[in-house]
Structure 1
Amino acid sequence: MTLDDSEAVVIEGAVAPCDILFVCEHASRSFPTEFGELGLTEEVRRSHVAWDPGALTLTRELAKRFDCTLVAGGVSRLLYDCNRPPEAQDAVPTKSEVFDIPGNMDLSETDRQARVSQIYQPFKEAVQQVIEVVHPKAIVTVHSFTPVYHGKQRAVEIGILHDRDTRLADKMLTAMADGPFNTRRNDPYGPEHGVTHSLRAYALPNKLPNVMLEVRNDLLAGNSKAVEVTDALEAAIALGMAELRESGEIA
């Protein structure tokens, strides 16, 4: 039994030329029946270790406001993390924060490769095909993170992450410097943690300005803060894109 493409990846919005391609790798906590539940309780399967709570809602709202296309992962990142290349050990994690993932332990190479071909490859191909159709001027990936990690409270509220290309990130950080949220560069994660795979795989080869957004998930829990976060990010992205146009770095 195999996972079909429609389960592995979701494409929303008109697949037509647009300024920004939004990507949400950890949008879903779905566990298709062919993979089982990996030996996890329902509580763990609903928790932040299985997906990025609030990230898809934020991605959808940003894509709507910019009238752009989004590509989202359709299954839990515990089955395969689409923000990791196949050679990365944590692409199919055996532990996430304090939780062991029994169903990922002692996987045969055949089983691991099946995850790659059924989840990662359809996602990767979808992003690449959408890029060819919409011809984006920039790529923005969207994530959320837990307020407490390994028992420690995180003060950062919004992370603006980048790899080698800092163009859009620099401009967004400047725009948000005096804003209402504790916004930091490459925090709570950075390239050294292996989190910029999508930027490296899809944006850098196409020389597209790019950024990875990390928003603390308590700010996305369906309250007024979520609107404030969305407004702040929309304004920063719009300003960044405008300045890149003015400098001639994008058309």
Structure 2
Amino acid sequence: MNGAHEKASPVHLENEAGAGAFLIVCEHASNAIPAEYGTLGLDSEALQSHIAWDPGALPVARAMSAMLDAPLVAQRFSRLLYDCNRPPHEASAVPAVSEIHRVPGNEGLDDDARRKRAERFYHPFRAALADAIDARPAPPAIVTIHSFTPVYHGVSRTVEIGILHDEDSRLADAVLSAAGDGDGHVVRRNEPYGPQDGVTHTLREHALPRGLLNVMIEIRNDLIGDAGSQMAMSERLAGWLNGALAAMRAGASGKEAATWARR
């Protein structure tokens, strides 16, 4: 999706008719910046780094969409223009600093400029995701796919796959159980981020009010740096999700079992 034209929709949809139990979201899929914004004052190295997007996340999300027959909703443009996993009132939605990098093109923006960013990037994404959820004949389980850098503010991270949740931990609990020993990976709950870091906005905005099963998956980006590792990770995560949902169905009863049977 890099190099998308400035007039293009900020939302990318795939497999819209997918009939599986899940709906996949990738809020930080692209580092593309429309020409009208220049480079936001950043060099090419910064724009290729994790501050501009989640490297490897989109190929994993796409492969999982195919494996799970799940619709995919992805953002077409860089998180530096607007982070679609943040609400408009948060300063981090349009960051003036990302990790150790100043973002000159975001410095000193007034309320009107920030509002225009939200109108251009966030609100269409939010509406498209809501429409995709509501169009499903049965309520989907929401899965958001992200990647994170192995070193952040100079600190190495030992966690390799994070299974994140907000107030509703049902699906996260089941995924952690299905993951078992992590197939040799270090898998942890709410790491390297958690709801206290403001990263569960999509879950809070779209899943919790509807009572939908939901989970956010963070993958250390050195584990998904090429097509082979991306496919292997997609297969692993899809297997965990299918195992988790199967276990939840088996353990459900009454109205809840009837609802999950349709997923």
Bigger shift: 81-90 or 226-235? 226-235
The TM-score, its normalising length taken from structure 1, stands at 0.95
Displacement of 1:225: 3.5
- What residue is the counterpart of 1:115 in the other structure? 117
Displacement of 1:16: 5.1
Picking from 207, 212, 215, the partner of 1:208 is: 212
Cα pair distance change 1:14/1:160, threshold 3 Å: same
Code of the residue aligned with 2:141 in structure 1: it is A
* 1:172-196 deviations in Å (ceiling 9; x for gaps): 1112131211000000000000000
User: Equivalent residue of 1:7, what SS?
Assistant: coil
Q: How does 1:126-165 map to 2 (within 5 A)?
A: 126-134=128-136, 135-165=138-168
Bigger shift: 163-172 or 229-238? 229-238
The alignment yields a C-alpha RMSD, in angstroms, of 1.5
Identify unmatched segments of 5+ residues in structure 2. none
* 1:27-54 deviations in Å (ceiling 9; x for gaps): 0000001222111111111111000000
* 1:34-85 deviations in Å (ceiling 9; x for gaps): 2221111111111110000000000000010011100000100000000000
Q: How does 1:49-198 map to 2 (within 5 A)?
A: 49-134=51-136, 135-178=138-181, 179-198=183-202
Displacement of 1:229: 2.0
Code of the residue aligned with 1:181 in structure 2: it is H
2:75 and 2:179 mapped to 1: Cα distance? 28
**Contact kept in structure 2, 1:21 and 1:140, CA below 8 Å:** yes
* 1:188-241 deviations in Å (ceiling 9; x for gaps): 000000000000011111111100000000110116443332222111100111
Q: Identity of paired residues, percent?
A: 47
Displacement of 1:145: 0.3
- What residue is the counterpart of 2:36 in the other structure? 34
Code of the residue aligned with 1:25 in structure 2: it is E
1:227 and 1:10 mapped to 2: Cα distance? 20
User: Equivalent residue of 2:113, what SS?
Assistant: helix
2:201 and 2:244 mapped to 1: Cα distance? 22
2:18 and 2:80 mapped to 1: Cα distance? 32
2:73 and 2:139 mapped to 1: Cα distance? 13
Picking from 206, 216, 223, the partner of 1:219 is: 223
Residue 44 (1) aligns with residue 46 (2): yes
The TM-score, its normalising length taken from structure 2, stands at 0.91
Bigger shift: 152-161 or 228-237? 228-237
Displacement of 1:159: 0.2
Bigger shift: 11-20 or 229-238? 11-20
* 1:93-131 deviations in Å (ceiling 9; x for gaps): 011111000110100211110000010000000001111
